[in-house]
Structure 1
Amino acid sequence: MTARVALRPEARQRLAMTPAMHYALRILRMPAPDLVAEIAREAGENPFLSLPREGAGARSSFDVALETVAAAPSLGEALRAQIGTMALPKGLRAMAEYLTGELREDGYLDSSVEEIAAFANVPVERVEEGLAVLQRCEPTGVGARNLAECLALQLGDHGLERGLADAVVDRLPLFAAGRWATLSAALRLPREELTRIAAALRELKPEPVTAPGAPAAPLLPDLVVERQSSGGFAVRLGREALPVLSLDRAMLARVEGSTDPFVAERRETARRLIRAVRARGRTLQRIGERLVHDQPRFFADGPDHLEPRRRQDLAFDLGLHPATVGRAIAGKALLAGGVLYPLSMFFSTGLPGPDGGAISAHSVRVAIRRLIDAEPPERPMSDERICERLRDDGVDISRRTVAKYRQCMRIPSSSERRRRKG
């Protein structure tokens, strides 16, 4: 029996969405490399899609993009390739592939199965089955909805069945404190097995996709910001890698009046892809124009002048749902001044800054890196000292936040920097 779930108003509205709308949101979520691969796959199967090509003997920018994608597959592509090797019913495979488009860059799944079921207009059980398939993929932990689930999935690789893994994660403080007698009684395991589990816990990662194994950063800009002769800035879609899709009019004419279901399905699929790609472009263009409007000093004077901005505020300004904005910026990149910036960088919480204003987390990271780059090799700055220097400049920040930002930039601790420079 299909589970009944209580839905928020916006989730109930999604139930009225058509399959074409669902598909358009999937295309919107795709980074440029994923979209190139999707277009290439569909163009290879669909006779009604027309892709322009440059002169004989020349390689089009689309061909170059395909080579780039092949050299650096994204997380979504890697997961869909794994799912493709599994023996699955067609509907279950489609659900698992759909979920790859819902993942964050770090491999976590933000939405609940109930929200996804409402959005896709499918039973909750179907989403749960698809998620179970996704969570069988590498890297281990992908598709986790929280840290506890991520750790439990990784413990499965160490031979723990899921119920025991969940119980271990629930008792992490006891493992940290070495409360072996309490753990032995609670988990009904001998000390030797608990010691083995404790060793496994030290190998776990807090995120399914960490820096060393993360997919390559987007190599194809979705948006390009250019300085105008007037001194201002304009934004355009990065179309160098994406072809201008169109329907093959000659092929349409040949099958005009046909009632063949295959012809009708392929024709509608081609139209649906074209509409979805155009809608994706319009949404990204609107976001880019708003960024240029809101961040003039960033584009004129550099990353130090990035202003804090929330996704919710952008969604309100553009009349979009916050979830739509989240899909639009996920895995996308903007090219400005020869530098490729992830769109997610433009949205972060602000920290109290000089003169009572706010300063973006990105600007703080830039300041931390500059302080470390300028430190004497024989006397690297501790996180506490960096914290003091930033506070002297009017930035209200804690030592823990400094350490977190330093680790995000993969900068070693002061002791490790001293050892390496010694």
Structure 2
Amino acid sequence: MKPSLVLKMGQQLTMTPQLQQAIRLLQLSTLDLQQEIQEALESNPMLERQEEGDDFDNSDPLADGDELPNPGSQEVSFQDAAPTVETLEDGEWHERIPSELPVDTAWEDVYQTSASSLPSSDDDEWDFTSRTSAGESLQSHLLWQLNLAPMSDTDRLIATTIIDCIDNNGYLEESLEEILESFDPELDIELDEVEVVLHRIQQFEPAGVGARDLRECLTLQLRQLPADTPWLDEAKRLANDYLDLLGSRDYSQLMRRMKLKEDELRQVIELIQSLNPRPGSQIEASEPEYVVPDVVVRKHNDRWLVELNQEAVPRLRVNPHYAGFVRRADSSADNTFMRNQLQEARWFIKSLQSRNETLMKVATQIVEHQRGFLEYGEEAMKPLVLHDIAEAVGMHESTISRVTTQKFMHTPRGIYELKYFFSSHVSTSEGGECSSTAIRAIIKKLVAAENPKKPLSDSKIAGLLEAQGIQVARRTVAKYRESLGIAPSSERKRLM
């Protein structure tokens, strides 16, 4: 076989670095995008924020006739995520400080400080704790109370071990015998000592913490209620002796054994239901998560308007001062570095523009499809899949998936992730289609209006939906009910 030269022609899709950057920015959430922008500002001297009131400069020495994207338009506007801080005049920062000050002079009388910008302590809306405190775990909360309780060293060791065995719901995971075995035999600790210390911990906050089962948890909470609480004795008796009957909702047996009338038993059960079966959940250990909407939808003159959240992303531009240092014919290392940084800044701004334009197209089509939801609520939600939006905007379904992931829309009915507006469909008797989200809303409405003594079964709900022209199987109703967090009919039964 002789070697030969063959000429072939073909097409190949190449993922350039600029395209990779645009795709990566497209799938970032607003908070992640703000962090990405901050990192770009710190690493690229050619990028800078445009403050409020500054004229936007489109000039770019290396643009070759192309203008930078104009963020002033509604679709591609990049506004500061946080309120702009007005800078003071230079002369105000260079005041003459006297060499000697009167003893009654306050710091703020001479030095300018930003502390005055904080709300005063008399402001009812200012909550220092909610703005400065971090999440606290249940164990750290119990240890804090333990440090305030007078105990011997041995009892404090036992208490610390018990606290370590309490789960996030507030229940003691290990038995007292297992806890006793974990101690050094030389300490000569007895089981009675461990139980006494456990009773001390069970008096801590939140009420019911340290319980070994649900019965003990409810009893501990009832003991901490005022003695004059109505039906307190009956509630203690129910929690101690008849909790199984309450779980199975056998109200006739409860009335017979406790010798109570239906109205009296209802008030006792209401007192039991006011307690927290998971007391540890009151102590939130995780940090709060904030949602920044990317798109704002509002109604104006009977028309639904879609706008980008102009406070979500900072406004960026190329620094004209540094860009002016770039020389076209210079091939030195410094000039090459500045040229590359300028090119990266231009591509970064263009990627942000492309992200916002794509987001606006997708959000506008979603609002166009789901006007019924905006007007009438979940029951008017229409079936919608990624292919429908991709076909409308002329993009691939994978792009639509990236756009709708971790992106949120602020509507008059609340803040929803863009993926919320996509749902499968169920056929109707008239040949149409009904959204699964609308079916869930109807199921939720039917359960809310049911007779508490005779709750609707899944088969009955399927029959009611069929009467409305919606053909849904019983197992589908059960799946939708479970996704809504609604218990089965046997567990929803209660007294009036």
Tell me what 1:194 maps to: none
Of the three residues 384, 387, 390, the one matched with 1:315 is 390
Tell me what 1:219 maps to: 291
Tell me what 1:402 maps to: 477
The answer on whether the counterparts of 1:218 and 1:331 sit within 8 Å (CA) in structure 2 is no
Matched, 1:362 2:437: yes
Deviation string 1:346-366 (CA, Å, 9 cap, x unpaired) is: 222211135321111111111
User: 1:163-178 counterparts in 2 under 5 A?
Assistant: none
SS of 1:224's equivalent in the other structure is strand
Shift in Å, 1:43:
2.0
Distance change in 2, residues 1:252/1:327 (3 Å): same
Distance 1:416 1:318 in 2: 47
Distance 1:52 1:335 in 2: 26
Paired amino acid for 1:47: P
Distance 1:13 1:407 in 2: 50
Deviation string 1:269-322 (CA, Å, 9 cap, x unpaired) is: 322221111101111111122223333322233232121122112212221111
Deviation string 1:1-57 (CA, Å, 9 cap, x unpaired) is: xxxxxxxxxxx97732312112111111112222122212222332222223459xx
Structure with more of its chain in helix, by fraction: 1
Distance 1:361 1:213 in 2: 35
The answer on whether the counterparts of 1:31 and 1:218 sit within 8 Å (CA) in structure 2 is no
Distance change in 2, residues 1:407/1:54 (3 Å): farther
The answer on whether the counterparts of 2:294 and 2:312 sit within 8 Å (CA) in structure 1 is no
Distance change in 2, residues 1:62/1:381 (3 Å): same
SS of 1:27's equivalent in the other structure is helix
Aligned residues: 263
Distance change in 2, residues 1:41/1:14 (3 Å): farther
Distance 2:286 2:394 in 1: 33
Tell me what 1:243 maps to: 314
Distance 1:227 1:236 in 2: 11
Deviation string 1:168-192 (CA, Å, 9 cap, x unpaired) is: xxxxxxxxxxxxxxxxxxxxxxxxx
Tell me what 2:365 maps to: 290
Distance 2:11 2:383 in 1: 31
Shift in Å, 1:213:
12
Paired amino acid for 1:29: Q
SS of 2:81's equivalent in the other structure is helix
RMSD: 3.5
Tell me what 2:81 maps to: 62
Tell me what 2:379 maps to: 304
Tell me what 1:234 maps to: 305
The answer on whether the counterparts of 1:224 and 1:335 sit within 8 Å (CA) in structure 2 is yes
Deviation string 1:172-216 (CA, Å, 9 cap, x unpaired) is: xxxxxxxxxxxxxxxxxxxxxxxxxxxxxxxxxxxxxxxx99998
Paired amino acid for 1:335: H
Of the three residues 27, 42, 45, the one matched with 1:29 is 27
- More displaced, 45-54 or 365-374? 45-54
Paired amino acid for 2:41: A
SS of 1:246's equivalent in the other structure is strand
Tell me what 2:404 maps to: 329
Distance 1:262 1:309 in 2: 48
- More displaced, 13-22 or 396-405? 13-22
Distance change in 2, residues 1:312/1:13 (3 Å): farther
Deviation string 1:117-169 (CA, Å, 9 cap, x unpaired) is: xxxxxxxxxxxxxxxxxxxxxxxxxxxxxxxxxxxxxxxxxxxxxxxxxxxxx
Distance 2:288 2:490 in 1: 29
SS of 1:41's equivalent in the other structure is helix
SS of 1:17's equivalent in the other structure is coil
SS of 1:240's equivalent in the other structure is coil
Tell me what 1:192 maps to: none
TM norm structure 2: 0.47
Shift in Å, 1:399:
2.0
Distance 1:13 1:36 in 2: 37
Distance 1:329 1:61 in 2: 23
Of the three residues 310, 325, 346, the one matched with 1:271 is 346
The answer on whether the counterparts of 2:457 and 2:488 sit within 8 Å (CA) in structure 1 is yes
Q: Structure 2 stretches of 5 or more lacking a match?
A: 1-9, 54-78, 85-129, 136-283
Of the three residues 44, 47, 50, the one matched with 1:46 is 44
Q: Structure 1 stretches of 5 or more lacking a match?
A: 1-11, 73-211
The answer on whether the counterparts of 2:374 and 2:413 sit within 8 Å (CA) in structure 1 is no
Deviation string 1:308-342 (CA, Å, 9 cap, x unpaired) is: 12211221222111111111111211122151122
The answer on whether the counterparts of 1:64 and 1:241 sit within 8 Å (CA) in structure 2 is no
Distance 1:353 1:33 in 2: 41
The answer on whether the counterparts of 1:391 and 1:397 sit within 8 Å (CA) in structure 2 is yes
**Which one scores higher on RCO, CA 8 angstroms, separation ≥ 6?**
2
Shift in Å, 1:264:
4.0
Shift in Å, 1:376:
3.2
Paired amino acid for 2:300: Q
SS of 2:374's equivalent in the other structure is helix
SS of 1:368's equivalent in the other structure is helix
Of the three residues 417, 425, 433, the one matched with 1:350 is 425
The answer on whether the counterparts of 1:32 and 1:220 sit within 8 Å (CA) in structure 2 is yes
The answer on whether the counterparts of 2:80 and 2:310 sit within 8 Å (CA) in structure 1 is no
Distance 2:374 2:297 in 1: 8
Tell me what 2:15 maps to: 17
Shift in Å, 1:233:
1.4
Tell me what 1:80 maps to: none
Distance change in 2, residues 1:376/1:41 (3 Å): farther
Paired amino acid for 2:387: Q
TM norm structure 1: 0.55
Distance 1:33 1:247 in 2: 23
Distance 1:248 1:418 in 2: 68
